[in-house]
Amino acid sequence: MKSSNHGFTHWLLRVVVVVLTLIAIRAPLIQAQPVIPTLESYVKAQMQAMNLPGVALGIVQGDQIVHLEGYGVTDPTGHPVTPQTSFRLASVSKTLTALAVMQLVEAGKLDLDAPVQHYLPWFRLADEQISAKITLRHLLYHTSGIPQTAGYDNFYNGDYSDTALENNVRHLESIASTSPAGSTYQYANLNYDTLGLIIQSVSGHSYETYIQDHIFTPLAMQHSFTSQTEALDQGMATGYRRWFGIPIAANLPDDRATRPSSFLISSAEDMAHFLIAELNSGRYGDATLLSPQSMAEMRRPFIPIGTTGLYSAMGLDVDQVNGEQRLAKTGGTANYYARIVLLPDSGWGVVVLANSFDIGLAEQFDTFADQISTWLLDQRPLDIIHLPIGGGNTPMKVALLAVIILELVFAFRMKIVLTPNRFEWRSVIRKLLKPLALDIIIALVVLLTVPRLMNTPFSFLYYFAPDIFWLLVAIVTIPIVKDVFKTLITLRRLSIIQAI
């Protein structure tokens, strides 16, 4: 028996070593490759390296679309992606929401420096005095003091009512501010969900109706939607969640409560129209969405984004590339990715949409789109971005898997509590219940502390990192199942012995 156990342990160690070695081999995230001869070959090679089912690419210069193409498939049945295929925009929705806010400012219906409570009298965080100082400008630049994780536990809440957006914003009354208004950049979806509710309040129309009438329609965005049901009827791409780096199709619900920050839907062709308007001082064809002065104000760098070298503008991030200003915005939900890049000095605009995303590898996804934009400037060779085996947060997943393996080893080696002769039920029950109680306590600690350490609610992990979610579930479940099974078997055998 000892030899068998020793052999199993030795085999286990070998498996762990092999896994860690593979990770080390794949550790570099960007590896130099031979020169990519064309943009199209780069996109196809990058899709394969990143395991992306489908991608739509749009490139504009000035007021012209110069490239529109779909790559890969929209769903498991193999329907091809086209420039008209719609994808969820995720946080790129914020860029459209910011534009809508500035339209209402120009119309004299909003004042950026007015308190939010001027438009939503009931608006408040946990601290009433802090709440009264928050302005629309603070919301636009993510300087309101609302913490990033506020609202994370409210994703996909199933509220499709006309009050869904208001219900979401009202959750702020239980959220404590983490910095004085206007002092610190803290990215938070609820900043823009609140702006969406203000748009709804002052325009007299639902947020969805306003966006359709004042942005989608003037820009001839015919494959853009404010409803997932309508988008799916028109061929919206199926989203894929990542399980250990492998995309698995997942039809997740719509989320009306967070639409202004995360849940608008569009296509590469339609977003190309939007980029043209951005690059041409608010004009697209005969339509004028915003004055040149307001467009310039939207792009103005306002506050540093930590130590990243980026600055926050209205619904956009600003930095420099090759000596010119770059404005960009990334969006990533549980199963979709979007990024727009604007280079106003040279007149280039790029949109990349994909039907898969890994929240632990956002920087690598962004590099995919950013390399295209810089290639337009200098035509330098493009590098292929390789992702680590297992996807984002691979070291954590390996550690969790190692814990699960050890738990299984201990479970299979557990001893059944037996007293073949005389025994005391009280003693036996104590020996059974103590480890069960301890494992339940440990499970509660894990479920409460790990999400806190990751700065994400447990429910958020279920959607955005399902592999980590189920690894955690397995870790807390295996010991408890072992204890319950041990208890049932022991009590059964003791009952038989007592009967004899």
* Residue 19 predicted with pLDDT over 60: no
Average pLDDT rounded to a whole number, residues 163-175: 94
The residues spanned by each domain of the chain are 2-20+393-499, 53-385
Token pair listed for 216:
């989608």
Q: Tell me: the pLDDT tens digits for 412-450? A: 776 655 555 555 666 767 777 777 888 888 788 877 777
pLDDT value of position 337: 98
Average pLDDT rounded to a whole number, residues 104-117: 97
- The DSSP H or E segment spanning 2 is helix 2-25
Round to whole Å and give the CA distance between 397 and 329.
29
Round to whole Å and give the CA distance between 128 and 122.
10
* Residue 96 predicted with pLDDT over 80: yes
Full DSSP string of 4-58? HHHHHHHHHHHHHHHHHHHHHHT--SEE--SPP-SHHHHHHHHHHHHT-SEEEEE
Helix, coil or strand: residue 73: strand
Average pLDDT rounded to a whole number, residues 364-383: 90
pLDDT value of position 416: 59
pLDDT value of position 396: 87
Looking at this protein, which amino acid is placed at residue 433? L
pLDDT value of position 31: 35
Looking at this protein, which amino acid is placed at residue 307? T
pLDDT value of position 322: 87
Round to whole Å and give the CA distance between 81 and 284.
25
* Residue 4 predicted with pLDDT over 50: no
Classified by CATH at the fold level, domain 53-385 comes out as Beta-lactamase (3.40.710)
- For 490-500, b/e burial (b = at least 16 CB within 10 A) is beeebeeeeee
R_g of the chain computed on alpha carbons: 27
* Residue 197 predicted with pLDDT over 50: yes
Round to whole Å and give the CA distance between 184 and 246.
37
Q: Could you tell me the pLDDT band of residue 2, with boundaries at 50, 70 and 90?
A: very low
Alpha helices in 204-310 (DSSP H): 207-211, 228-233, 259-262, 268-279, 292-299
Q: Are 279 and 63 in contact (CB under 8 A)?
A: yes
- What residue has token string 């593979």? 22
Query: Could you tell me which residues come within 8 angstroms of residue 493 by beta carbon, excluding any fewer than 6 positions away?
Result: 416, 418
* Residue 24 predicted with pLDDT over 50: no
Q: Tell me: the pLDDT tens digits for 471-493? A: 999 988 888 888 888 878 777 77
pLDDT value of position 411: 77
* Residue 357 predicted with pLDDT over 60: yes
pLDDT value of position 482: 84
3-state per-residue secondary structure call for 246-263: EEEECCCCCCHHHHHHHC
Average pLDDT rounded to a whole number, residues 80-85: 98
Token pair listed for 70:
């779909």
Please write down the long-range contacts of 393-397, taking CB distance under 8 Å and 24 or more positions apart: 393/360, 393/465, 393/468, 394/23, 395/23, 396/468, 397/244, 397/467, 397/468, 397/471
Helix, coil or strand: residue 420: coil
pTM (whole model) above 0.85: yes
* DSSP bridge pairs for 350: 59, 341
pLDDT value of position 149: 86
Q: What angle do CA 140, 145, 146 make, to 5 degrees?
A: 80
How would you classify the pairing of strands 86-88 and 30-31? unpaired
pLDDT value of position 423: 55
Q: Among candidates 344, 345, 364, 342, which has minimal Cα distance to 354?
A: 364
Q: How far apart are the first and last CA of the chain?
A: 30
Q: Are 115 and 155 in contact (CB under 8 A)?
A: no
Average pLDDT rounded to a whole number, residues 58-64: 95
* Residue 190 predicted with pLDDT over 70: yes
Average pLDDT rounded to a whole number, residues 247-259: 94
- The DSSP H or E segment spanning 129 is helix 128-133
Helix, coil or strand: residue 82: coil
Q: Are 342 and 328 in contact (CB under 8 A)?
A: yes
Q: Are 428 and 494 in contact (CB under 8 A)?
A: yes
Looking at per-residue pLDDT, the higher value among 231 and 34 belongs to: 231
pLDDT value of position 496: 58
- Determine what percent of the chain falls in helix, strand and coil, rounding each to the nearest 5: 50, 15, 35
Round to whole Å and give the CA distance between 97 and 276.
17
Q: Say how many CA atoms lie within 13 Å of 5 toward its Cβ.
A: 10
* Residue 329 predicted with pLDDT over 90: yes
* Residue 334 predicted with pLDDT over 90: yes
Q: Are 217 and 230 in contact (CB under 8 A)?
A: no
Round to whole Å and give the CA distance between 387 and 53.
15
Q: Are 326 and 142 in contact (CB under 8 A)?
A: no
pLDDT value of position 159: 84
Round to whole Å and give the CA distance between 299 and 124.
28
- The DSSP H or E segment spanning 266 is strand 265-267
**Minimum mean pLDDT range among 54-68, 292-306, 467-481:** 467-481
* DSSP bridge pairs for 58: 68, 351
